[in-house]
Amino acid sequence: MSGDLFATSSAATRIAQLRDEIALHNHRYHVLDAPSISDSAFDALVRELQALEAEHPQLVTADSPTQRVGSPITGGFDEVRHDVPMLSLGNAFSDADAGEFFQRIADKLGRDDIAFSVEPKIDGLAISLLYVDGVLTRAATRGDGSTGEDVTHSVRTIPSVPLKLMGGDLPRVLEVRGEVYMPRAAFEAFNERARERRERTLANPRNAAAGSIRQLDPKVAASRPLAFFAYALGRIEPEATWTQHTDMLADFRGYGLPVCPEADRAVGLDGLLAYYRRIGERRDALPYDIDGVVYKVDDIAAQRELGFVSRAPRWAIAHKFPAREEQTVVEAIDVQVGRTGAITPVARLRPVQVAGVVVTNATLHNEHEVRRKDVRVGDTVIVRRAGDVIPEVVSVVLDQRPEGLVPFDMPTQCPECGSLLAREGDEAVLRCTGTGICPAQRKESIRHFASRRAMDIEGLGDAYIENLVDLGYVHHVADLYALTLDQLLEMKRRADERDGVVPETVKKGKVASRWAENLLAAIDASRKTSLPRLLFALGIRDVGESTAKTLARHFGALDRIASASEADLMTAPDVGPVVASRIAAFFAAPHQREVVDLLRARGVQWEEGEPLAAAGPLLGQTVVLTGTLSALTRDEAKEKLEALGAKVSGSVSAKTKFVVAGSEAGSKLDKARQLGIPVLDEAALLALFAEHGA
């Protein structure tokens, strides 16, 4: 018996060690973005803990990392009565509204040098987390503010929610309020996978978060990429000693609770509005959806003095951004043919302003999505626009559907060239099979070829591309380099006659030709390019800028890439079997090789040499650029770093080798300092380039 007791005691000690170690690594990975061990090493710790708990089930506790995904609950959700009501915020929709909010507080407090805790307003689901003796014991939704639903079973699955708080000086009871959300990139990736599998997509990140949490089976929430930010206090025992809201958030971070990295402090009305504009400018670049910013008086004693009105605090307000979802009517549904032949149904909309932009078209993605959402001409729909993403139809407002609307059917032939439409394998996307003859594919290929990050032919706009293809002057991208002034002027004359446009006035016997001369000069200037730009410009399916740069560094010359087998292509970093097959198929097509040969014959040049990846001094190193550089643009700095073998990333993590900080560097610089990552200023960067001849 004594041996059994000793074994159990040893197991209990090791289990406690493993739980603390796993919790620490979870915090470093999901909150700090600074992992200190490999995934395989982390998995080994979890497996050891699972094995020990299986041997000693009496030692399993609710705060164990192995208990994140439990069993489905039955009978719906239990009600949770909030000891401290979860109030909502008042809204400000303009600078004037924010000014009135500030003035009311200034008048009440008798001063105007008021400091505020400020943070983005995350577009997610409000959640209350109750910790007793540092252990998560309950999670509840806001509900009506007084009563919510117990969703502990789902919230426990969120990796960034600590099951046990960190630190030794913890309050006995701590109720934390915050927001469960789905990161934007994770949302887009989830929907892309769902579309490929022809499964139901999620409407938007906010609904995705709310719907995931309110599932009876926690495995549903566990399968979805959710995250959490803490931003407020519910209750605490013993009574808190914080005097500032920002101090409380700092302690939350110390407890292992994730707090939004954009949270800050601002003083006065000017400080509030400056923060609103700064976050608004960065809105599209943030990794999560926000619909405004929140202002909270920082002084907690002042919060108590200001008190509450109805169901909202007087000391806090949400300053909202323009809405990104609006309702409008579908006036028609057309299909567009993309560069790779992909057929995309597009809703033509009654014009509506969404997030400050007038939207007239919205993508319907593919045939499966049109059928799933059942979008019909005449429907009232909700349209969403986020960042640079093309506006999309989120859903149909079915209770506003007129009688007699007919379901939309996808065509069977390409509307541009009449070729049959077909799918590749299990793809949800229909494609035009008229590669090489379809004018729509030809136009999109030329647009892509001439774009700024490809060959950068300034002035070659959509109207010129349409006319060049429709009137037979350009059949593929190499034809751009054979155009003459006479051809361009003739094209303009023919297009004007076709469109019923009055020809430009002839002055002194000459037709205005400056536009054509400028266009020819831009085409000529593009003849000298780089191998990565040319590879990207060729429009090889699934070969974006990053892959093009990888191929150029790895192989060094176009002919090496064109003649490489799929196995050889996969020796390049991040090139898998699908991308390798796309590249091999592209260069195996006779008409594509002919275009490349014509580009060479017509004077397009690019530097080639030995593979740069073999000799790059920064090979395998991850670098982050932040702030503004004065001697060169960010794109130029990125190209030079990549030429030295570096991978330039948009976020700082423990894997970052160094950060280059220009003027007005922001949160990336702060994070680099927190993680102890070396920081180079612009002078040091230029010295590095000079040292290696970049």
Give the span between the Cα atoms of 296 and 317, in whole angstroms: 7
- Residue 384 DSSP class: E
Residue showing tokens 């280059």: 660
Q: Look up residue 32 and give its DSSP letter.
A: S
List residues with catalytic annotation.
121
**Element spanning 233, H or E:** strand 227-237
Q: Are 288 and 280 in contact (CB under 8 A)?
A: no
List of residues 6+ apart from 344 with CB closer than 8 A: 335, 336, 338, 363, 364, 365, 366
Tokens of 305: 């003095």
- What backbone torsions phi and psi does residue 321 show, to the nearest 5 degrees? -85, 165
CA angle 198/196/324 to nearest 5° reads: 85
Tokens of 642: 């990549």
Please give the single-letter amino acid code of residue 625: L
User: Judging by DSSP bridges, how do beta strands 605-606 and 528-529 pair with one another?
Assistant: parallel
Q: Are 19 and 66 in contact (CB under 8 A)?
A: no
289-303 per-residue burial string, b: 16 or more CB within 10 A, e: under 16: bbbbbbbbbbbbebb
164 near 135, Cβ under 8 Å?
yes
> Count of alpha carbons within 13 Å of 24, Cβ hemisphere only?
10
550 neighbors 619 (Cβ within 8 angstroms) = no
